[in-house]
Structure 1
């Protein structure tokens, strides 16, 4: 074993960073044996240096992250500060000064992944980011290495633990959205400002990364259709149960039928209870991968949290350190396919539409005509009068597969009918 240690700079020492430092210290001998050389924490950049950080030598703490990555003797920079800046500048500076990078920064990678890969390649360095998607679940490396000889056609998954906890709670207890969110916040699953999770921004960033790797095509955050889950109601879950379904916030990345384009989207959807993703409970994540040769694969586990995310970071750290010792680099960006990223309007799926309508003869015929005029075929219809009277009824329509553009046109036309009081909900049906 080489005696000179590989030096690691840690950018950020919050929930994840502190766990990375702890594991590096407590498992130092095992890491050295697996890598072939010791690893040494050479510096930790933080914003608040006065905070006590157990197990970390205060002499390693600095507020000058730029100076730390410019030192020249750093072998690997671990970036867990998140956000776009200063993370982007610090990562590119690290490459320029001889360090490889391990990052957990999904937002940055989804927005500027191509530029970061180019910077890594220009400086003959590694950029690894297993921890950016689905926490401890091994997903990035299987997609870009284990399945490198296969053709991935679809990636369908639950990639945000906060939203899955909320939806699972609504499903299992009948709680409303706000009640379930309050419980998630009290248990520490939801941030004080849960917008990034519940509005789908977090999942959309992960979808962009997954689609880019799975389809060898550059997919940016702006290419991902995003719809949050704040409008999902207890009534939606009741309807789902009548169809033997549940509701999940899904990230869906798939090839078009002709293979010439791809789509990436995040939105709530009904899925059959028989689908493997339907049984994913609490704050867990799971990703379902469909490919030509391997068929159907499912990856499941804790998708967030300090220790699980740190586990993914350390796995990348070991791989990058091994590469440093051998003088090699691992796989970089693979975007050779350069497939077109199609808009949401081109996506085809089934739909569950709930309408509030006038309770009188002829309404169903009017509604069916609108669907037919827009080329959306109806599978089933269920109508029932309101218990509170008032001359209104609830009409639930489930369609066959149709394009999103056709469905949007249908809904716009329905809203113009005098007999339609309102469109209560629209839910896509996936996984069939």
Structure 2
């Protein structure tokens, strides 16, 4: 039976995502009520600019006092889509203290303080849901913490930032340089005026921390994630990738060590074989590849950002939390029982593609090969091209630790015959 008293929802933020959440709540009100078991009422909207016209929202609901809104005491659910660390963190904990569950899309806050937020939710017997924090509309958080709760996840490998994927895809398909591709992404609205959070990997690193924590039942903070941006990727890197039957993606990689005793989380550009499902992810789309013991390989694909896709994830959480409220229960909280140590990047083992500028004379290849051997890095293939006393040497290695590769590169730079290390790219997905 339908409960007549509505669930009261407060919305913190009414930008691109928040306005879509409000619109869907209104236009799909009957369907949401049927799915939850009670009507949903928008009880207040906290904004910074109250004079802005917000179509479809009663002006009487608008307030600039977010703190007073979450302290009302009669709210069932608070939806936080303002982003950032503060005041979001204080508003969320205040909402718990005053009886409301929370749905959030705040990846930065969850990556930095997820454990504390989960503890606050548990202390007050409330829900904290955040499907929209990673990969937009793609169902990912709930499958990892519910559908795969009985399985052992070993690796999560994904494209979790649409801006960077658009830029790299444009460089791959047209031969454009980085700046040219970035300019097009900005003109089309895929990149912000300041794209730093995307192109330097900060956005993807926050998402990697969240995914690793859920997948491995271990607390992983943003500071635990190794991060490299993709601003140094060049057209020459793509040409080399194509010769190897690969493309280049900015990847978030979370994985258990081979002995299962530790985990790592990292974000960086990498070559990936064209045969891998992630290689075919084009434009601003996201995709995440999950590998587990029982399920094998699973891939989740779709739009990873934007008002409507992200609002879809928020509303999915709203329905789940609303059902929990009616049932007098809560959904899954933090699962960090494994408490595995997070290893340093130096312990990560993978393959590498190294491009060197060298003198074009006899004995160079032997010198380079000796350096690799001295550092325990086995060479898979070598390709050399020379002209007018200058040459390029491209080395692809077998699997080796990042620390070993770093020592190798440092030693190579000291060789008189090596004029420069033009590019170092990891090779993943094999």
Query: How far has the Cα of 1:394 moved from its partner?
Result: 0.4
| Equivalent position SS for 1:204 | helix
Partner of 1:424: 422
Partner of 1:400: 398
Structure 1 CA distance, aligned partners of 2:68 and 2:204?
Answer: 33
Query: How far has the Cα of 1:236 moved from its partner?
Result: 0.1
Query: How far has the Cα of 1:254 moved from its partner?
Result: 0.3
Cα deviation 1:52-73 (Å, max 9, x = unaligned)? 0000000000000000000000
| Equivalent position SS for 1:341 | coil
Cα deviation 1:373-401 (Å, max 9, x = unaligned)? 10000000000014xxxx11000000000
Query: How far has the Cα of 1:108 moved from its partner?
Result: 0.1
Structure 2 CA distance, aligned partners of 1:359 and 1:14?
Answer: 58
Partner of 2:12: 11
Partner of 2:314: 313
Query: How far has the Cα of 1:276 moved from its partner?
Result: 0.2
RMSD of aligned alpha carbons:
0.3
| Equivalent position SS for 2:357 | strand
Structure 2 CA distance, aligned partners of 1:44 and 1:417?
Answer: 63
Cα deviation 1:80-132 (Å, max 9, x = unaligned)? 00000000000000000000000000000000000000000000000000000
TM-score when scaled to structure 2?
A: 0.99
Query: How far has the Cα of 1:421 moved from its partner?
Result: 0.5
1:2 aligns with 2:3: yes
Query: How far has the Cα of 1:139 moved from its partner?
Result: 0.1
Structure 2 CA distance, aligned partners of 1:260 and 1:244?
Answer: 33
Structure 2 CA distance, aligned partners of 1:115 and 1:366?
Answer: 53
Cα deviation 1:218-239 (Å, max 9, x = unaligned)? 0000000000000000000000
Structure 2 CA distance, aligned partners of 1:350 and 1:257?
Answer: 15
| Equivalent position SS for 1:304 | coil
Query: How far has the Cα of 1:164 moved from its partner?
Result: 0.2
| Equivalent position SS for 2:288 | strand
Partner of 2:182: 181
Structure 1 CA distance, aligned partners of 2:41 and 2:186?
Answer: 36
Query: How far has the Cα of 1:262 moved from its partner?
Result: 0.2
Partner of 2:202: 201
Structure 1 CA distance, aligned partners of 2:66 and 2:267?
Answer: 34
Query: How far has the Cα of 1:263 moved from its partner?
Result: 0.3
Partner of 1:99: 100
Structure 2 CA distance, aligned partners of 1:257 and 1:170?
Answer: 34
Query: How far has the Cα of 1:133 moved from its partner?
Result: 0.2
Structure 2 CA distance, aligned partners of 1:241 and 1:380?
Answer: 15
Q: For structure 2, list consecutive stretches of 5 or more residues without a partner in the other structure.
A: none
Query: How far has the Cα of 1:209 moved from its partner?
Result: 0.1
Structure 2 CA distance, aligned partners of 1:293 and 1:359?
Answer: 52
Cα deviation 1:335-379 (Å, max 9, x = unaligned)? 000001000000000000000000101100110011011000000
| Equivalent position SS for 1:288 | strand
Query: How far has the Cα of 1:275 moved from its partner?
Result: 0.2
Structure 1 CA distance, aligned partners of 2:154 and 2:235?
Answer: 33
Structure 1 CA distance, aligned partners of 2:135 and 2:10?
Answer: 24
Structure 2 CA distance, aligned partners of 1:53 and 1:181?
Answer: 31
| Equivalent position SS for 2:358 | strand
| Equivalent position SS for 1:167 | helix
| Equivalent position SS for 2:320 | helix
Q: For structure 1, list consecutive stretches of 5 or more residues without a partner in the other structure.
A: none
| Equivalent position SS for 1:230 | coil
Structure 1 CA distance, aligned partners of 2:281 and 2:373?
Answer: 37
Structure 1 consecutive aligned stretches of length 4 or more whose deviation exceeds 2 Å = none
Query: How far has the Cα of 1:31 moved from its partner?
Result: 0.2
Structure 2 CA distance, aligned partners of 1:226 and 1:408?
Answer: 16
Instruction: Give the paired residue count.
Output: 428
Structure 1 CA distance, aligned partners of 2:67 and 2:285?
Answer: 36
| Equivalent position SS for 1:232 | coil
Partner of 1:86: 87
